[in-house]
Structure 1
Amino acid sequence: MTAPMITGPMIEAAALAVDTIDDTIAAPPADTPPADATSTDARPRGPKGDRRERSARRPKKDVDGWVLLDKPIGMTSTQAVGAVKWLFQAKKAGHAGTLDPLASGCLPIALGEATKTVPFVMDSRKVYRFTVRWGIETDTDDSEGQPVAQSEVRPARDAILALLPGFRGEIEQVPPAFSALKINGERAYDLARDGIAVELAARTVIIHRLDLVDMPDADHAVFEAECGKGTYVRSLARDFGRQLGTHGHIVALRRSVVGTFAEEELVPLDTLRAMHEANGETPPFAALRPVEIGLDSLPSLRVSPADAARLARGQSIILRGRDAPIIEGPVAITAGGRLVALGDAEGAEIFPRRIFHSAPAA
C-alpha cells in the first residue's frame, strides 16, 4: 500500500472504516425577498404583477457556492441575502457576519451547501476602515441615531496615537444598545427602539491591529482595524470619544476583508443584477464561487472514493500507513477533486461532521 503523503495544503491518506457518528455543525438559512439598496421595501424587483404569481414562475433551485458581495450602503444584511437568493433562485442562503445598513463592503453570502461552512468564515478575522466624528455621541453609536451627548473638545493626533495601544490585543468591550444581541429572548435593538433601557455586559474581543489612517479635519479621524469575531466597531468609536475627553460616533464604515475573502474579489449587487438581466434573467453563475472556499483556513485531507463513501454514510475513517499524518481539529475532506465532508481529526481517526452533496463540476 502506498504511504500517505503531504503535498502543500493537501494531505493524502488511505483509510479504514470504523464507527458512525452524528452531524453537528449547522448554519442559519435566510429566506428574504430582495430590496433596493436605498429602501426598506422588500418586494422583488421585476415585472409587475402579483408577488405570489411571480414566485410561482420562479421555482427555487439547488444552488451551491459563495457570492462575495460588496454590500451597498443603505441595505440591511438580511435584505442583501434576500436579493442574492432571488437572483440565483436558490433554495437556501445565509451570510457570514452582519453589516449595518450604514456599512458597505464584504458580505460573504452562502448558498445551499455552502451554508455548512458559514461558522468557519464567521470565526475568521475581519478588516474594517471607519471614520469617527468627534464631539457627538448617539444612541446607536453611528450617524443613524439621535445625539445623546455633545462636547466642544477635539482630540489632537498625539492623544489619539497614545490611546490606541490600550485598544489592541484582548480587550473588554460593551456592545452597542442597538445590536442584535438577545436579552431574555428579545433583540437588544427592539428593546432600545421601544424606549427600554438596555444594559449589555462587557465581552472579551480581540483587536489584532488598530491604526490611525487619516485626520482630514478637526472633527473627523479615519481608522483601520483588524479584529476577531464579535467586535463592534461602533463601540470603538464610542469608547475612543469617552477616553479622549469628548464623544464620538461612526459616520462611515467599510469592511474590506473577511478571512481569506479580499476586497478585490467583491462583486457589487448592481453588477449581479446586470448579469442577471443580460443573460435573460438567468442566475449570474459566473459570480458564484466554490463551496470549499469557505474552508480555506482548514487543512485539506484527500481520500479515496471508497473512503468518501464511508464518510457519506456517517462512518469514521482511520488514516493508515507508516507516514500517515497525525492531525487534530477540523479538516476539509475531498475526493475526486471535490469537497465531500467536513470532519474532526483525532490523531489517526477522522469523524465526519457535515456531509456535502454538491454535484461534481461539469
Structure 2
Amino acid sequence: MAVYAVYKPLGATSHDVVETARRVLATKKVGHTGTLDPLATGVLVLATGSHTKLVPFLSGEDKEYLAWISFGGSTPTLDAEGPLEPAAPWRPDEAALRRALARFLELEEQVPPAYSAVKVGGVKAYEAARRGEALALEPRPVRYHQVELLALQERPEPLRIAPGAEGWRPDPRGQAVELPPELAPLPTAVVRLVVGSGTYVRAFARDLGAALGTGAFLSGLVRTRVGRVGLEQTVPAETLAQARPLAAAEVLPFPAVELDHTEVRRVLQGVPLPIPARGLVALTDRQGRLVAVAEGDGFKLKVRRVFRPED
C-alpha cells in the first residue's frame, strides 16, 4: 500500500476521512499523522497497509497553518463551534498585534485547550469539559517557528490562497478557503503559523487574545503543510482509488538511499548494510519503492522498519 495527501473538508472529522479511505481502498489498515478538528480544513496525511508503520516517523513533523483569529469574544472550545461568550471589545491596533505575535517565537510551553485529547489521570480533557468538569492541565512543550500577520479584517472573511516560496498566502487567483459559519462580525487577524508537533492553534488564539486584553477564538483554520507534504498535493478521500501515492522521498523528512537488488534482499533479511550514513535513512529499490527505514551510526545502517514491495 502507500501514503496519500488528502484534503479534509469542513465539518468532517479526521476519523470520517479515514473511514472513507478504508472504504474506497478496501482496506482496514489506514492511519493518519495528525488530527484536524472538524471546523478545520486542509492537509491530512494518510498511511495505508504496511505503510502505517511510517506514522511514528511522520507524526512529529512541523505543520503550517493559516489561522483566522477573531477578537472581542470567546467560546468554550476556542473555535467557531460556539456559543459565543462576549469579551472586552478590541479596537484593531496593528502595531500592538504585531508585538503580541512576536512573543510567540520565544514561547517554549503552553497550556492546552480544555477541549483537547490531553489526558489527566487517564481522563481525556474534552470528555471532562463536556461534563462541566475542569481539569488542571499542565503546560506542554511547544515551538513556534514562524508567526506572520497576513491580513487584518473587520470580520472573519474567507480568502483565496496560493502557494509560494514563503508558504501559502492570500492570492486572488488562488483556491477558495472554507470557513465555518460566522458567530459574530468581530475584528479578525489572518495569521500564518509554522509550528512544531503538539502545538494547538486554538491555544494560540486564546493566548493572543489575552495578550491584547480581550477574548479571542479560532474562527477558521487551514492546514497548508505537514512536513514536506503541501496542500497543493491533496486530493479528496473519495478519489483515492485513482490518486497517485506519494513517493517516500516526497514524505519522509530524511535522506533516501537507492539499493540494488542484492542490497534489497539483504535488508529484507534484516542484515545491516555497510553504508556510512548517520541518523535515519529511507532505503528504496531501483523503482523508487520504499524498502525500509534504517538508522546509521556512521559505519553501517541498521534496519528499523521493513516495507515489503508486495504489501
TM-score by length of 1: 0.73
Q: CA deviation at 1:114?
A: 2.0
**How far, CA to CA, are the matches of 2:106 and 2:284 in structure 1?**
36
Task: Give a deviation string over 1:302-342, Cα, whole Å, max 9, x none.
Answer: 233223222212222223xxxxxx32111111233222111
Query: Equivalent residue for 1:205?
Result: 142
Aligned residue type for 2:22 = K
Aligned residue type for 2:268 = A
The one of 197, 206, 209 aligned to 1:229: 197
Assess if the C-alpha contact under 8 Å between 1:117 and 1:294 holds in 2: no
Matched, 1:343 2:308: no
Query: Equivalent residue for 2:280?
Result: 330
The farther-off stretch of 334-343 and 241-250 is 334-343
**How far, CA to CA, are the matches of 2:46 and 2:127 in structure 1?**
25
Question: Structure 1 residues 248, 288: CA separation in 2 closer, same or farther (over 3 Å shift)?
Answer: same
Query: Equivalent residue for 2:207?
Result: 239
The one of 247, 250, 257 aligned to 2:225: 257
Task: Give a deviation string over 1:67-96, Cα, whole Å, max 9, x none.
Answer: 211101111101111111111112300001
Runs of 4 or more above 4 Å deviation: none
**How far, CA to CA, are the matches of 2:91 and 2:138 in structure 1?**
29
Assess if the C-alpha contact under 8 Å between 1:127 and 1:257 holds in 2: yes
TM-score by length of 2: 0.84
Assess if the C-alpha contact under 8 Å between 1:134 and 1:154 holds in 2: no
**How far, CA to CA, are the matches of 1:336 and 1:359 in structure 2?**
15
**How far, CA to CA, are the matches of 2:210 and 2:16 in structure 1?**
33
How many residue pairs are counted as aligned between the two chains?
A: 279
Question: Structure 1 residues 170, 315: CA separation in 2 closer, same or farther (over 3 Å shift)?
Answer: farther
Q: CA deviation at 1:155?
A: 4.0
Query: Equivalent residue for 2:261?
Result: 305
Aligned residue type for 1:301 = V
**How far, CA to CA, are the matches of 1:75 and 1:290 in structure 2?**
23
Query: Equivalent residue for 2:181?
Result: none
Assess if the C-alpha contact under 8 Å between 1:160 and 1:244 holds in 2: yes
Q: CA deviation at 1:133?
A: 1.3
Q: CA deviation at 1:292?
A: 1.7
**How far, CA to CA, are the matches of 2:251 and 2:37 in structure 1?**
25
The one of 167, 185, 188 aligned to 2:104: 167
Assess if the C-alpha contact under 8 Å between 2:249 and 2:256 holds in 1: no
**How far, CA to CA, are the matches of 1:353 and 1:83 in structure 2?**
30
Query: Equivalent residue for 1:68?
Result: 5
The one of 76, 80, 85 aligned to 1:139: 76
Matched, 1:289 2:255: no
**How far, CA to CA, are the matches of 1:169 and 1:306 in structure 2?**
49
The farther-off stretch of 144-153 and 184-193 is 144-153
Matched, 1:115 2:83: no
Between structure 1 and structure 2, the one with the greater Rg is 1
3-state SS of 2:56 partner: helix
Aligned residue type for 1:242 = A
Q: CA deviation at 1:171?
A: 2.5
**How far, CA to CA, are the matches of 1:288 and 1:186 in structure 2?**
40
Matched, 1:96 2:52: no
Question: Structure 1 residues 170, 352: CA separation in 2 closer, same or farther (over 3 Å shift)?
Answer: farther
Assess if the C-alpha contact under 8 Å between 1:302 and 1:335 holds in 2: yes
Aligned residue type for 1:353 = R
Q: CA deviation at 1:267?
A: 1.0
**How far, CA to CA, are the matches of 1:128 and 1:182 in structure 2?**
25
Q: CA deviation at 1:294?
A: 6.2
Q: CA deviation at 1:291?
A: 5.4
**How far, CA to CA, are the matches of 1:310 and 1:175 in structure 2?**
46
**How far, CA to CA, are the matches of 2:105 and 2:292 in structure 1?**
37
**How far, CA to CA, are the matches of 2:193 and 2:37 in structure 1?**
17
Assess if the C-alpha contact under 8 Å between 1:120 and 1:295 holds in 2: no
**How far, CA to CA, are the matches of 1:154 and 1:120 in structure 2?**
44
Assess if the C-alpha contact under 8 Å between 1:295 and 1:332 holds in 2: no
Indicate the RMSD between aligned Cα atoms, in angstroms. 1.9
**How far, CA to CA, are the matches of 1:346 and 1:239 in structure 2?**
42
Q: CA deviation at 1:220?
A: 1.4
3-state SS of 2:115 partner: coil
**How far, CA to CA, are the matches of 1:168 and 1:212 in structure 2?**
13
Matched, 1:87 2:27: no
Assess if the C-alpha contact under 8 Å between 2:229 and 2:251 holds in 1: no
**How far, CA to CA, are the matches of 2:107 and 2:263 in structure 1?**
42
